[in-house]
Amino acid sequence: MHSRRRFAKTHKIRQRRPRPAPVRVFRMTVSSFSYDERKHQLFEYEMHCKIARRARTRADIKRIRKQLEEKGRKHFHYWLLKHLKVSLDREVRVNFEHEQRAKKQIAQTHASVRRFVMRRVDRRWDAQELPSGRMRFAKRRRKHGRA
């Protein structure tokens, strides 16, 4: 025959790399409320976070949700205290939407954050958008042992 057999014997078999986990979009809402004694008005503060992270299994999803919840609560308290001088003494609620596959399969290190304050006015909620921003989720990579 021809040289096909000889080529097949000398050719190395390529090892397949495992496929990377799919990138999913995680959406989280963090909220709490407070009552202003001077203004006699109820305020509800909300923060909507969105980030794309790699997650293959249910365990991966639970782990990312737990990390996102911890970092989201800290960021929520910190931001309200720093920018609005509001110290929350009430419980902070955290809710998640179902994860969806991201259109772009690129994982993010920062979550985009939208913030709102709602005031109770005549039996309805009046929403006001606060400045949006970013929340760091993943640790920064160090280059050659330096920060």
Nearest Cα to Cα of residue 48 among 32, 29, 73, 31: 29
In a domain, 40, yes or no: yes
% of the chain residues with pLDDT over 70: 87
Domain total of the chain: 1
Q: Does residue 124 lie within any of the structural domains?
A: yes
Tell me if 11 is assigned to some domain: no
Kindly report, residue by residue over 81-139, the tens digit of the pLDDT: 999 998 888 899 999 999 999 999 999 999 999 999 999 888 888 999 999 999 999 87
So what's the pLDDT on residue 4? 54
Model pLDDT, residue 87: 87
DSSP percent split of the chain into helix, strand, coil, nearest 5: 25, 40, 35
Instruction: Name the residue range of residue 27's domain.
Output: 20-135
- Report if residue 10 sits inside a domain: no
CA distance 47 to 134: 11
99 domain residue, yes or no: yes
46 falls within a domain = yes
CA 91, CA 49: separation in Å to the nearest integer?
A: 18
Tens-digit pLDDT profile for residues 12-34: 677 888 888 899 999 999 999 88
What is the predicted pLDDT for the residue at 8?
A: 54
Whether residue 1 is contained in a domain is answered as no
Whether the per-residue pLDDT at 37 is higher than 90: the answer is no
Residue 26 lies in a domain: yes
Q: Label residue 42 by pLDDT band (50, 70, 90).
A: confident
